[in-house]
A and B are shown apart, each in its own frame.
Chain A
C-alpha cells in the first residue's frame, strides 16, 4: 500500500505543505544531513569551548560569564538562518546577484581603510557597527571571490561553448580575486590573503583551467611571498610571528609566548583531557585570544587527544561531504563553488590548528564553526548554505 500511495503522491501535482516538505524528492529529504549535523555539532562544541575560555575573563566578558556563550549561540543562530536563506534562494539564482555582492564586498573592504575601520590585534580589518558588534568584511569577501570566480570561469563552459575556461577568462577571474586581496593586504591581514590565495588555487584546479595556470599561480605565490618578505611590506608583528614560529624558544614571554603557551595547554591535555571546564591553563588564561584564534587549545587541554582528535575528524567529515558535493554537482559553476569552499575550510582549519600545534606560523585566522566571531560564523554558515543548495539542486541520479 505504501508503494502505491508513494507513487500516487509523486505524480500528484497539488501536494500539501507538509507533503511538500517531507516528500521523498523534497528539499529536506535531499539535504546533506551528515554535513549539516557535523557543522551543527562543531558549532555546539565551539560554543562550549568559547564559554570555557571566557567565563573567567572578566576583562573581556563585562563581568557576565555567559556573555560569550550567549553571543556565540546568537551568531550560530544568525549563521544558520543565513544558510537557510541561501538554500531558499538557491545558488543558481544567486548567480545573478553575484556582481552586486562582489562590488558590495569590495566597497565594505575599502570602508575598513577609511576612518570607519578599526584595528584589532594588529590588523586593521574591522568595521565596528556599535552595540558590541563588529564586521570583518574580509570574511564575506572570501565568499564573493568564490562566487565571482565561479561565475566567470563557468559561464562559457556551462553554456557548452568550451570544454575548459580559456586563458582570457582565467585572467579575468584572477583579476577579480586580486582586487579584494590587494585591499586586504593594505590592512594588512596576511592570514586572510593566504586563505584567498589557496581558495583561488582550489578554484583554478576545479575549473579545469590549464595546468600552466595552476603551476603559474603556485610559482607566483612563492615569488610574492618572497617579495613581501624582502621588501619589508610586513609589519614587525608579522615578522615576529614568523621568527617565533621558526624558533619558539626565542622569547618565551614575548613573541614566542602565544605558541609556547598554546603547546603547553594542548600537550598537558594528554589522552583524555582534564575535562570540560577543568583546564588549568585555560582557567589560568595563559593562552591569549583563546576564544577566537586559539580556541583549539581549549579542546586540546580539556578534551584531550580523544576530544581534539574528534574535532579534527568532524572537520574532516565536513570537508568530505563538501568534496562529495563538488564531485556530484550538476554544473561547473556548482563544482567550482563547492571546491572553493573545500579549499577555504581545509586551509583555514589546517592553518588555525597547525599554529596552535606549532607546525604553522601564527596568523589571525578563526577555526571554522568553532572560533568565536560573528563575521566568520556567518560566512562559514553561508558557505554551508551554498553547499546544501548545490546538493539539493544536483541532478537526480539515483
Chain B
C-alpha cells in the first residue's frame, strides 16, 4: 500500500474514506442493537402479541338452564329450532362476496334478498338495523324458523350454499304447562346492550355481543346461574381472517336449572281464576258510578305460610312471553308498553300498589292492642264518625253497636278503628304533636309495609305508609303545585284539596290518621306484602322473605337449595296472634266472607280471611281478599273490581278447593287434592343431567281442574300466536324433559 504512485487519492480523500467506513460500521451496529432490543429484550412481549394476532375466537353459546316448577315441570326451557346461519368468512371467499349465495338462500327461505343481505352486514354507527353486531367470525343467524324442507334444501345442495348452515339450535321456549304462563314471573330475554358488555368485560363471565340476557322476572334474578359458560373455539387465522388451524377448544358449559316453588297446576289455575274473576266483575254494575266495573288489572299470590315460598303468582293483564323469542317485533313491543294493553309486562303482584282497604285492619288491630286497648273491650261501631264536621262513614253505613276488636275485624267495622285512630292522634298531640308514639304507623312498618319484601324478582316496589316523615317529604315536593292550584277561583274538589294541602299539607291531620286506620288515603301496599303478613299471622308471626327460587341444579347434578329466609317477627304476642287468628276464621264463618265460604269444611281445614274494598279517588273500588289456612296464604286483588268478597273471594276459594281437593259442596276428596301439604321434595337429577320430575303422575296429570268459568283461557295477548308455536296451548302438552 505504500507505493501507489498513480493513485489519485490524496490524504483528504483517504481520511474521508475512513470516516465513511466508520459511519457504515456505526449504522450497522445501530441495526444490531435495535435487533437485540426487539428480539431478546422484548421478545416475550412480541411473542405474546404474535399469538394474539393469529387467534380468533368463535363462541358457542351455552344452553340456558331451564326454569322448573316445584315438581320439575319446565316453565321455561329450550327447544330445538332449525336455525339457518351464514358464515361471513366463507361468503367473502366467493367471487361476488357471496351475493348470489344469499340470493339463492333468500329464495329457499321465502325472504327478500335485500333482507338477507342486510342481516349479514356488520353493524357500525352508520348502518341501520337489521345488521349483525356480533363477531364477524360468528355464524350469523338468518332465521330461527326454518322448516325441515328448507333446511334439507340447503344441506343437500352444499355446493350451492357455501358458508350456509342449517342446524338445530336451542331456542328459549315458555311452554305454559298446565296453563301456567307465568309471563311476568318468568320474565324474558333480550340481546345485551353495549353498557352491559362493558360492565361485565372484566368479570369472570364476560358477555358476547350475540348473547341474550334476562331482562325481567326470574330470568333476570337468576341470570348468572341459568346462563352457563359459553364455549370458545380458538382458530388460528391469517391476516384476512382465513382459518389456517385450530388453537384449542373450550366446550360450552350449559347453565344450571332453577327449581321454583311455583306449582304449574296452581299457577295455571290462579291465572285462569284471576282472569275469570275479572271478566265476571266486568259484568257487574258499580252502584257508585252506575257503569260496569272496569276490572283493568289484578293479581293473585299463593304463598306457603311456613316458608314464604310462592306457589303461584299471577298478574293480569298478561301476555305470551314467547313473543320475545328470536327478537320481539317492534309492533308487539309497542303494544306491550302502551296504555292500550295496560302494560302486561308489569307484575302486579310485586309492582302493583294500591290502598289496601280493610285487609289493612290486620295492622290496625295489632297497633290498637299494642297501644294498650283490650281486645275484648266494647267499641262503638256506629254507622258514622264525626270529627269537626267531617263525617267518616262505616262501609255501607252499617251499625253494630258496642263490639270487640275481633268482631270489628269480622264485620269490618270502620268506625271502631276511626275512633281508636282518632284517640291515638289526639294522644300524640293532635295538630301540635309532642313526641308522638304513632302506634298505627310504627306497627305498619313492623309488618314490613312501605319497604320491599326482598322477593327474588327484580323491580319490586315498596308501597307507602303515609307517616309524618312521608307527609313532610311529600309536602316539600308538592307544595308549589298545590299552592298554585289553590289560587284558582274554581271550587271543585281538587282545588279544595289543594287549598287544604297548601295550608297544612305537612301536618298529620286527624282525617289522615282516621282514613289511614282502615287502609285508605295515601296508603299503598303490594299483594306480595299483604300475602307475607297473612302468612306470618298463619305461622305464628314469622315473616319470611318471599321466594320463588327453591334450588339451583347444575348440569352435573349438584343441587344447591335456596333455604327460606326469616327476616323478622310480627310485633304481636302469641295471645294477640291467636285472638286475631280466631277473628279471621270468624270472617270466613260469620263475617264479611261467610257468604262466600258457605259449606267450607271449616272443621277440617280452618279458613281465615279478610275482605277489603278500597276507595280510590276518581276510580272504582279496589277489591282485596286476603286469606290463609295453616299451610297457605292467598291474597288477591282486582283494580276497579268491586268489593273484596264480591269480586275476589270466589276465585280464591276455587284455588283452595284445588289445593285441598274440596268439592264445590265442601266434600274433601284427598285423591283430588293437588297439594294438601306444600311440596318439600325437590325433583331429582338423572345421570345424564336431565331432571326427573317428582313422580306423582296421577296427581300431576290426571286431575281435572275444579269447575272454572267456561271462558277461562291462557294468554290474553291480543296478537295471535304464531302457528309455529302450537305448543302454547296450556295444559294439553306433556311435560318436556330437559335436553
Chain A residues proximal to chain B, CB less than 8 Å: 56, 154, 157-158, 163-164, 202, 205-208, 261, 263-271, 280-281, 283-286, 300, 304-305, 308-309, 312-313, 315-316, 319-320, 323, 326-333, 335, 339, 342-343, 346-347, 349-350, 353-354, 357-359, 395, 397
Contacts and interface: CB of A to CB of B under 8 A. Distances in A.
Contacts of A315: 28
Contacts of B53: 261, 264, 281, 284, 286
A157 B13 CA distance: 12
Contacts of B9: 208, 327, 329, 332, 335
Interface string B660-693: 0000000000000000000000000000000000
B696 interface: no
Interface stretch (B38-46, B480-488, B709-717): B38-46
Nearest to B18: A327
11 contacts: A56-B238, A205-B20, A265-B50, A267-B47, A268-B47, A327-B18, A331-B8, A335-B13, A342-B21, A347-B27, A395-B4
Mostly helix, strand, loop or mixed at chain B's interface?
Answer: helix
Nearest to B36: A305
Contacts of A343: 20
Contacts of A328: 1
A323 B1 CA distance: 15
Nearest to A205: B16
A309 B32 CA distance: 6
B36 to A, nearest CB: 6
A157 B1 CA distance: 20
A157 B239 contact: no
Q: Which of B9, B23, B36 has the most CB of A within 10 A?
A: B9
B391 interface: no
A157 B27 CA distance: 31
Interface string B565-587: 00000000000000000000000
Contacts of A395: 4, 6-7
Given A305-B39, A309-B32, A323-B24, A331 B6 contact: yes
Contact of A270 (B4, B16, B34, B47): B47
Nearest to B39: A305
Nearest to A286: B239
A315 B24 CA distance: 10
Nearest to A352: B31
A308 B36 CA distance: 10
Given A268-B43, A395-B4, A395-B7, A280 B50 contact: yes
A353 B51 CA distance: 23
Contact of B238 (A205, A263, A285, A326): A285
A308 B54 CA distance: 23
A157 B17 CA distance: 17
B50 A271 contact: no
Nearest to A301: B50
A278 B57 CA distance: 22
Contact of B35 (A283, A308, A326): A308
Contacts of A346: 23-24, 27-28
A323 B50 contact: no
Contact of B8 (A285, A335, A358): A335
B373 to A, nearest CB: 78
B35 A266 contact: yes
Contact of B45 (A267, A316, A339, A397): A267
Contact of B25 (A154, A286, A316): A316
Contacts of B239: 261, 284-286
B28 A312 contact: yes
B17 A267 contact: no
Contacts of B51: 280
Contact of A327 (B6, B17, B237): B17
A280 B54 contact: yes
A342 B9 CA distance: 17
A208 B13 contact: yes
A264 B244 contact: no
B8 A267 contact: no
A318 to B, nearest CB: 10
A266 B39 contact: yes
A271 B46 CA distance: 13
A271 B39 contact: yes
Contacts of A316: 24-25, 28
Given A157-B8, A283-B244, A350-B31, 11 more contacts: A206-B17, A206-B20, A268-B47, A284-B239, A286-B53, A309-B32, A315-B28, A330-B4, A332-B8, A342-B20, A342-B21
B97 to A, nearest CB: 15
B240 interface: yes
A309 B7 CA distance: 36
B14 A397 contact: no
A341 B25 CA distance: 15
Contacts of A158: 8
A359 B39 contact: no
A350 B29 CA distance: 10
Contacts of A354: 30-31, 34
Contacts of B16: 205-206, 208
A331 B4 CA distance: 10
Given A264-B49, A268-B49, A305-B40, A284 B35 contact: no
Contacts of B237: 284
B12 interface: yes
Q: Which 10 A-B pairs have the closest CB atoms?
A: A267-B46, A332-B8, A268-B50, A284-B238, A305-B39, A270-B43, A267-B38, A208-B13, A350-B27, A357-B34
B49 A267 contact: yes
B8 A154 contact: yes
B10 interface: yes
B1 A270 contact: no
A327 B236 CA distance: 53
A323 B34 contact: no
A319 B46 contact: no
Contacts of A350: 27-28, 30-31
Nearest to B48: A268
Contact of A359 (B8, B12, B24, B30): B30
A326 B35 CA distance: 29
A205 B19 contact: yes
Given A206-B16, A271-B39, A316-B25, A329 B7 contact: yes
Residue from A265, A280, A312, A343 having most chain B Cβ neighbours under 10 A: A280
A179 to B, nearest CB: 25
A269 B43 contact: yes
A342 B24 contact: yes
A320 B21 CA distance: 7
B35 A309 contact: yes
Given A283-B244, A395-B7, A305 B35 contact: yes
B722 interface: no
B45 to A, nearest CB: 7
Given A267-B49, A343-B20, A350-B31, A284 B244 contact: yes
Nearest to A163: B10
B36 A285 contact: no
Contacts of A357: 31, 34-35, 38
A94 B32 CA distance: 37
A236 B13 CA distance: 41
Given A206-B20, A323-B24, A350-B27, A269 B39 contact: yes
B289 interface: no
Nearest to A208: B13
Contacts of B203: none
B39 A353 contact: no
A284 B49 contact: no
B35 A268 contact: no
Contacts of A332: 8-9, 13
B3 interface: yes
A392 to B, nearest CB: 16
Contact of B39 (A154, A208, A280, A308): A308
B7 to A, nearest CB: 6
Contacts of B50: 264-265, 267-268, 280-281
Contacts of B10: 163-164, 208
